[in-house]
Structure 1
Amino acid sequence: MTRFRLLLIALFLSLLLHLALLGSDLLPAISQPPESTPKLEKIDVKMQALQLETQDKPAPGSAGVSLRPSAAAKTKPAKTKKDSSGKPRRKPQASQPTEQAAKPESSAPTAETAAARASSEPAAENLHPRQAAEASAPAAQPASAPRAEAAHEANAGFIHPDNALRKFPAAAKIRYQGYWNGAMVGFGDLDWQQGNGGYRLDIAVNPFIGPKLRYLAQGAIDKSGLRPDSLQAFRGSDLKESARFDYGAGLLRYGSHAEQQQPLKSGAQDVFSLAFQLALKGGALGHAPIQITTAKKIYEYPMAPAGAFDYDTGAGKMRVVVFRAEGDGDVSEFWLAPDFANLPVRILRADKDKRIELKAIRIEVNGKRQWELPPQPTIRNKNAH
């Protein structure tokens, strides 16, 4: 009995000592970082509604490049015709200053370089304003070199795709790191497919511990946007909840067996299709509340841009527009990247009990990898994706 009492006293003293250390600054910070809401800035990057991608982009792009040299080549026979007409070389000289002004620093004034430059100029429309200033200042105003250097410095460290993404993709895959209350708990994969008037959005969450979660959203799509038909939520291989948009009956059915129902309102979305509706429409969904279902519940709140932010991925920044909705103690956020076809590079769902985040680490569009976060130095190198 004496030994038992001594053991209890030792355990009690050890507990007091650990509590004292945790309450002091003697122990280093462990695990999850403090939760913080970024200070959003005024929106200075324009989101645009995108046309649906109906075929592979490289084919029309390569055709456009090949047509440029042939057009340039036609101007050379025009010179000989003008020489014989009595007005020597005035018109050829008038058609060349724009090319020569753009080429003084080029290695050779060939038609190929002119075509490559002409095909790359429209890409500036979808760039961050800082990069657009950097790209346009040297060509349009050669005398403003200091301004171009300042723009280059301001744009340093920002991530952009190799080529501008001007249409909403037929296919996209995004890999995320998943966080629960600030601690990384696994990975998530988003697979987007659209074509022939329909879409399929498949999201799989693979935690390090626990069953796999999967969400499958399907519906119709056209130039007016997404029209969801169903959302299914799986835990492991079991269907937990589902939502069905019954347009014929005018009902939104939801719940564990879709046994609950509410009147279906115009513009209703499931929580995952909503991100792609925002992306396709350039964020222009109006200020009226939107009926949104998670398959388990139904919410109604407006989804409007809250501001812009330089999202630090850990290996470069992306300029994003943050859409936030709050209601009934819940918060939903979609961080859309205009440079990457308005795709969601970060998704947040939070309530009074939990905070779930998905942060992109890889983006593929139409089968081509557009960006990937290099492996980061961590204790277990969990980002060795």
Structure 2
Amino acid sequence: MKYLRWFIWIALVASIVMHLATILAEPIYAWFTQPEFSQTELKKTDRKLDEQSLDEDEKPAELANVKPAEKQMVYLQPIAPKIAVEKPIVKTKQVASAAKSKSVLIDAVGKESASAVATQSITASEVQVASALTHAREVVASAPVQVNVATASAVQASRVATQIDTEASKRFPRVVEIGYYWTVFDARMTWKIEKDRYALQLKANPAGRHILYLSEGEINARNGVKPLRFADLSPGVDKAPKNEAVFDWGNDTARIGPPNNQKIEPIEPGDQDLLSAALHLAFMGSKHPSYEMALFSGRKRYPNAVFELKGEATLTLGTTKVDAVLMRAKWDDRQVDFWLAPQWNNLPVKMSINLGKDGGSFEVLAKEVSLDGRKVLEWIAPRDQQQRRP
């Protein structure tokens, strides 16, 4: 019995070790083999973040239903050569001969009648020549007008196409997926915009735990992001949230806390939750030099958070170097950093949230980015990368 008890304990410990090894083996391997994250020194910058647009409704009226062309071809009509028209020379000798013949044939008429007939013949010829000249002048005069109209149309089309391309580069993607490193674990943030509504999620599974944060609300070009609900759905989407913040903009109040113990806090235009703040800053860009707001978690309201552009640095994401600007809010013992990439519609490629004594601190770093189904940053397995941790 003594040896049997020892055997049971050893088997139990071995089972626990095997389960832990199964859960932690992949994260530990990724930690030791992933590229060393590097960041150039933060420096001051004059860079401005482009303000983003949502859709074609914000374009000028003449561009409302026009989509950018992949290839643009402009044809210029050559100027038509001028038609050289020379005034025919009336041969007087032939006219005189014709008149003399007519006078011979009409002996009975007399010299005055013959002269009248000859004069009438000459006048008819001049009328035909004048008509031909007038027609030629009209053709030549109309040709330059047609060419100018065609040229103007081509120039206008080129300007419209250029304006469309410029607008397209500032058009905020409607479907975004960003894969992050959450220390040694994976996290994924997705958001989707439909008309004037957005839904934003952050998922992670560190050490077997399930984490799911949700933010949803409204978005428009004038005011940016207006959250309606932030929730910690870690217990499960089909269960009551662990904590949440429900925004009532009609009454300028928010209910925060667990469903069975919520309290009322005031809200003002521009206030955000911890996730929507990143989306708001990315969308609004440098429209304002700073953004003052209250930040809401599911448990608490943090007033007087002021986000300012603190500088610029180059981040190494996997094997890709990306320039990013730092938007930081720091108050009391708390600090929130959003590193926004101008080349990717100001998306947050790195986020650091430190809520001090309230806990809830974490840091995530992008490893893959997809904009409207187009991958702009692709994750490469550590074994396929040249750079390794020492």
Which residue in 1 is equivalent to 2:353? 349
Q: How does 1:49-60 map to 2 (within 5 A)?
A: 49-53=51-55
Distance 1:361 1:37, change over 3 A: closer
Q: Match for 1:266 among 247, 264, 269?
A: 269
Once the two structures are TM-superposed, the CA of residue 284 in structure 1 deviates from its matched residue by 3.6
Contact 2:48 2:286 in 1 (8 A): no
Greater C-alpha Rg? 2
For 2:378, the aligned partner's letter is E
For 1:329, the aligned partner's letter is D
Once the two structures are TM-superposed, the CA of residue 210 in structure 1 deviates from its matched residue by 2.9
For 1:272, the aligned partner's letter is L
State the secondary structure of the residue aligned to 1:279.
helix
TM-score normalised according to structure 1 size: 0.62
State the secondary structure of the residue aligned to 1:40.
coil
Q: Match for 1:247 among 249, 261, 274?
A: 249
TM-score normalised according to structure 2 size: 0.61
Contact 1:241 1:255 in 2 (8 A): yes
Identity of counterpart residues, as a percentage?
A: 24
Which residue in 1 is equivalent to 2:134? none
Once the two structures are TM-superposed, the CA of residue 228 in structure 1 deviates from its matched residue by 0.7
Once the two structures are TM-superposed, the CA of residue 36 in structure 1 deviates from its matched residue by 9.8
Once the two structures are TM-superposed, the CA of residue 285 in structure 1 deviates from its matched residue by 4.6
Once the two structures are TM-superposed, the CA of residue 38 in structure 1 deviates from its matched residue by 6.3
Which residue in 1 is equivalent to 2:91? none
Once the two structures are TM-superposed, the CA of residue 359 in structure 1 deviates from its matched residue by 0.9
Contact 2:175 2:372 in 1 (8 A): yes
Which residue in 2 is equivalent to 1:43? 45
Once the two structures are TM-superposed, the CA of residue 234 in structure 1 deviates from its matched residue by 2.1
In structure 2, distance between residues paired with 1:32 and 1:312: 12
In structure 2, distance between residues paired with 1:249 and 1:339: 39
Distance 1:280 1:121, change over 3 A: closer
Q: How does 1:99-118 map to 2 (within 5 A)?
A: none
State the secondary structure of the residue aligned to 2:277.
helix
Which residue in 2 is equivalent to 1:100? none
Contact 2:37 2:316 in 1 (8 A): no
Which residue in 2 is equivalent to 1:359? 365
Contact 2:270 2:292 in 1 (8 A): no
Once the two structures are TM-superposed, the CA of residue 81 in structure 1 deviates from its matched residue by 5.2
Is 1:335 the equivalent of 2:339?
A: yes
Which residue in 2 is equivalent to 1:289? 292
For 1:271, the aligned partner's letter is L
Q: Match for 2:283 among 260, 270, 280?
A: 280
Q: Match for 1:177 among 160, 166, 181?
A: 181
In structure 1, distance between residues paired with 2:194 and 2:82: 51
Once the two structures are TM-superposed, the CA of residue 331 in structure 1 deviates from its matched residue by 1.2
Which residue in 2 is equivalent to 1:232? 231
In structure 2, distance between residues paired with 1:32 and 1:170: 30
Which residue in 1 is equivalent to 2:210? 212
Contact 1:65 1:119 in 2 (8 A): no
Once the two structures are TM-superposed, the CA of residue 42 in structure 1 deviates from its matched residue by 1.6
In structure 2, distance between residues paired with 1:43 and 1:61: 36
Once the two structures are TM-superposed, the CA of residue 281 in structure 1 deviates from its matched residue by 0.4
Contact 2:326 2:338 in 1 (8 A): yes
Q: How does 1:32-181 map to 2 (within 5 A)?
A: 39-53=41-55, 64-65=69-70, 68-69=72-73, 72-73=74-75, 75-76=76-77, 78-80=78-80, 165-179=169-183
For 1:280, the aligned partner's letter is F
Distance 1:62 1:288, change over 3 A: closer
Distance 1:263 1:244, change over 3 A: same
For 1:363, the aligned partner's letter is V
Distance 1:260 1:376, change over 3 A: same
Distance 1:61 1:314, change over 3 A: farther
In structure 2, distance between residues paired with 1:261 and 1:283: 32
Which residue in 1 is equivalent to 2:135? none
Contact 2:191 2:198 in 1 (8 A): yes
Contact 1:44 1:308 in 2 (8 A): no
In structure 2, distance between residues paired with 1:173 and 1:256: 29
CA deviation digits over 1:342-379, x for unaligned, max 9? 11111111255785211111111112222213222499
State the secondary structure of the residue aligned to 2:281.
helix
Is 1:375 the equivalent of 2:381?
A: yes
Contact 1:345 1:360 in 2 (8 A): yes
In structure 2, distance between residues paired with 1:52 and 1:198: 11
Q: How does 1:302-317 map to 2 (within 5 A)?
A: 302-317=306-321
Distance 1:288 1:364, change over 3 A: closer
Distance 1:378 1:260, change over 3 A: farther
In structure 2, distance between residues paired with 1:346 and 1:82: 67
Structure 2 spans left out of the alignment, 5+ residues? 1-31, 58-64, 84-138, 142-146, 152-156
Number of matched pairs: 283
In structure 2, distance between residues paired with 1:310 and 1:240: 37
Q: Match for 1:298 among 284, 291, 301?
A: 301
Is 1:223 the equivalent of 2:228?
A: no
Structure 1 spans left out of the alignment, 5+ residues? 1-29, 87-91, 97-114, 127-163
